[in-house]
Amino acid sequence: MKSDAIKKGPARAAHRSLLYALGMTDSEMKRPFIAVVNSFNEIVPGHIHLRTLTDAVKAGIRQAGGIPFEFPAIAICDGLAMNHVGMKYSLISRDTIADSCEIMLTAHAFDAVVFIPSCDKVVPGMLMAAARMDLPSIFIGGGPMLPGKYGKENIGLSNLFEAIGTHSVGKMSDDELRAMELSACPTCGSCSGMYTANTMSCLTEAMGMSLPGAGTVPAVYADRVRLAKMTGERIVELLDSGLTATQIMTEKSIRNALHVDMALGGSTNTVLHLLAIARECGYELTLEEINKISCKTPQLCKLSPAGPAFITDLNESGGISAVMAELAKAELITTDCPTVNGFVADRIAKNKGADNIVIRSVEEPFAEDGGLAVLFGNLAPNGCIVKKGAVLPEMMKHEGPARVFNSEEEASEAIFAGKIKAGDVVIIRFEGPQGGPGMREMLSPTASIAGMGLDNSVALITDGRFSGATRGASIGHVCPEAAAGGLLARVQENDIVRIDISERHIELVVSEEELSKREPVPAPDRNLRGVLSRYQKNVDISSRGARVID
């Protein structure tokens, strides 16, 4: 066992003395040491309940003969960080989480690890750490929040962000907005739609790194506590069998996750995270490969914000196992991939697949291709991402004049001032991995456009990111970004931009001769210090996952 490095032999007498200071017994010293990484904190709704799940995990570990040792991980709530300087730190936290897990797991010679994440950057950060460390590993997330109720309709956080736009144009009263804000987030858990946190938890299950149901069972259900206990028991069995993270997180299982992502119509952020996770696994995933997977994978679900169903509905319809069973009928899932409990084939063997309500069949999908699309063209030669499954049909093709802004704040000010008109293409630049830095999510401007009723006539393009709660013709991750010399830095007011999502194409309709005469707008001097400065100097491009590199 790896933990022998701190507990076995005369040379480790001092180490054992420190362990005895924890109250350990001689019999405990002979058992495997299991790390339990708990991202609990008291500011994030997705994490406020994780002490309960962590206690259940530790009980399961003890029942199976292991010794659990809990340590924390940081976690940012993207909703609370949205639309201010705090969002610059969200993506950065992903790599910080991976690094801190590596530090703790290595320094204390753990034999295996249970990761307990929730929310947008914590799940991928811990998956990156799992791949990097390659220990026996398993995940149990906090689970999704229940949807709220407004009148007779189920709602989630995305509805509230859109309501702000509706309120700003006088179509919703103060009292109505107040009633919605009190009901949109009724329980603990990650926000209730197919936003980034829930998508990443679903993909963790699809990849085989968590037990069936871990991606969709609601946070407040007793089923999740049982899953946590079973997860604790299972990690000891994984250690005994010698099955490590990268034996599960293979090229095949990552492709499985991508097929599920396209079928679900998940968050655009998942592309960024899977690119980074694959590289930690030693697999050079590309946007071109992701696009090929998207083109041949039907969209089987339309979950909030793309449709009226929520994660709870997906759970009641069979969850991720049902989606994978349906995809397997079209041979889009590799079923011989190992998981933390058997093989994919075992998980889907008795599952009927589609219910034709929440999960459609492969014969009659919502769309013939995936819910995410990668666009290429002169404006994004390295690619950009759109949640195709949440775009209105009339916006699948769009051509209009550019309205150019050098920050999210400038764009939001113009949107709320009524300066954006039907047909416009809003350009927000210098928000990329380097230019931001931190590649901010921009739910406020996209939701405001939707709330004002302009999502059927206005597109938005940025080198930054979008929340998983975003819908509409919102195209992000433009690469190369403006700060790195991308064409985005040469776009001028009223330039014509042409978008064809069906053909996966994006183009600035300006002649090469004209473009050659233009000097790129210089990136703003952010006068950075601390973590933002280090990140800007070391971050990779978005088409490679925006990882911090040496």
Transcribe 136-150 into DSSP letters: SEEE----BPPPEEE
Q: Are strands 380-386 and 373-377 parallel, antiparallel or unpaired?
A: antiparallel
Q: Give the pLDDT of residue 443.
A: 86
Q: What is the mean pLDDT of residues 127-134?
A: 98
For residue 469, the model assigns a pLDDT of 84
Distant-in-sequence, close-in-space partners of 314: CB < 8 Å, separation ≥ 6: 194, 216, 264, 301, 303, 323, 358, 359
Cα 233 from Cα 277, distance rounded (Å): 26
Q: Which residues of 13-22 are buried (b: 16+ CB within 10 A; e: fewer)?
A: eeebeebeee
The pLDDT of residue 163 is: 93
Q: Which residues contact 100 (CB under 8 A, 6 or more apart)?
A: 73, 74
pLDDT (tens digit per residue) in 223-263: 999 999 999 999 999 999 999 999 999 999 999 999 999 99
Q: Which of 406, 440, 76 is nearest to 269 (CA)?
A: 440
- Mark whether 444 is an active-site residue: no
* Active-site annotation holder among 267, 294, 304, 467: 467
Q: How many CA atoms lie within 13 A of 482 on its CB side?
A: 30
Taking alpha carbons only, the member of 219, 212, 249, 254 closest to residue 234 is 212
- Coil, strand, or helix at residue 169? coil
Residue 550's pLDDT is: 76
- Nearest by Cα to 390 from 312, 301, 289: 301
pLDDT score, position 80: 95
Distances (CA, A) of 233 to 188, 238, 435, 544: 25, 9, 45, 36
Q: 547 pLDDT exceeds 80?
A: yes
444 pLDDT tier (thresholds 50, 70, 90): confident
Q: Are 517 and 510 in contact (CB under 8 A)?
A: no
Q: Is the dihedral of CA 172, 176, 178, 181 positive or negative?
A: negative
Per-residue pLDDT band at 194 (split at 50, 70, 90): very high
* 316 dihedral zone (left: phi>0; alpha: psi -120 to 50; beta): alpha
Q: Which residue, among 153, 139, 99, has the nearest Cα to 227 in the 3D structure?
A: 139
Provide Rg for the chain, Cα atoms: 23
Instruction: Please give the distance of CA 70 from its chain centroid, rounded to a whole number.
Output: 24
pLDDT for 352-401, tens place per residue?
Answer: 999 999 999 999 999 999 999 999 999 999 999 999 999 999 999 999 99
d(CA 165, CA 171): 9
DSSP 233-278: HHHHHHHHHT--HHHHS-HHHHHHHHHHHHHHT--THHHHHHHHHH
Sign of the C-alpha dihedral computed for residues 344, 347, 350 and 354 taken in this order: negative
Q: Are the C-beta atoms of 78 and 120 separated by less than 8 Å?
A: yes
pLDDT digits over 256-315, tens only?
Answer: 999 999 999 999 999 999 999 999 999 999 999 999 999 999 999 999 999 999 999 999
Over range 514-536, report the average pLDDT: 95
Q: Are 301 and 314 in contact (CB under 8 A)?
A: yes
Locate 320 and state its tokens: 């991720």
Q: What is the pTM of this model?
A: 0.97
**Cβ count within 10 A of residue 394:** 11
* Degrees, nearest 5: CA angle 538-542-543: 125
Give the Cα separation of 461 and 505 in Å (integer). 13
Mean pLDDT confidence for 324-340: 98
Q: How far apart are CA 252 and CA 451, in angstroms?
A: 40
**Location of structure tokens 């998956």:** 127
The 8-class DSSP code of residue 520 comes to P
- Which pLDDT does position 48 carry in this prediction? 98
Asked whether the predicted pLDDT for residue 406 surpasses 90, the reply is yes
Averaged pLDDT, 478-505 = 97
Average pLDDT, the chain: 96
CB 19 within 8 A of CB 108: no
Give the mean pLDDT of 22-44: 97
480 upstream amide cis, omega within 30 of 0: yes
**Angle between helix 269-280 and 196-207 (nearest 10):** 40
Res. 497 pLDDT band, cuts 50 70 90: very high
- Coil/strand/helix, residue 441: strand
Q: CA-to-CA distance for 331 and 354, rounded, in angstroms?
A: 15
- How close are the terminal C-alpha atoms of the chain, in Å? 30
Structure tokens at 453: 């009723």
Give the tokens for residue 84: 């201010």
Whether the CB-CB separation of 123 and 197 falls below 8 Å is answered with yes
Q: For residues 99-123, give the mean pLDDT.
A: 97
Nearest to 71 by CA among 31, 103, 118: 103
% of the chain exceeding 90 in pLDDT? 97
Coil/strand/helix, residue 487: helix
Q: What mean pLDDT comes out for the span 325-337?
A: 98
Bridge-based pairing state of the strands 425-428 and 397-405: parallel
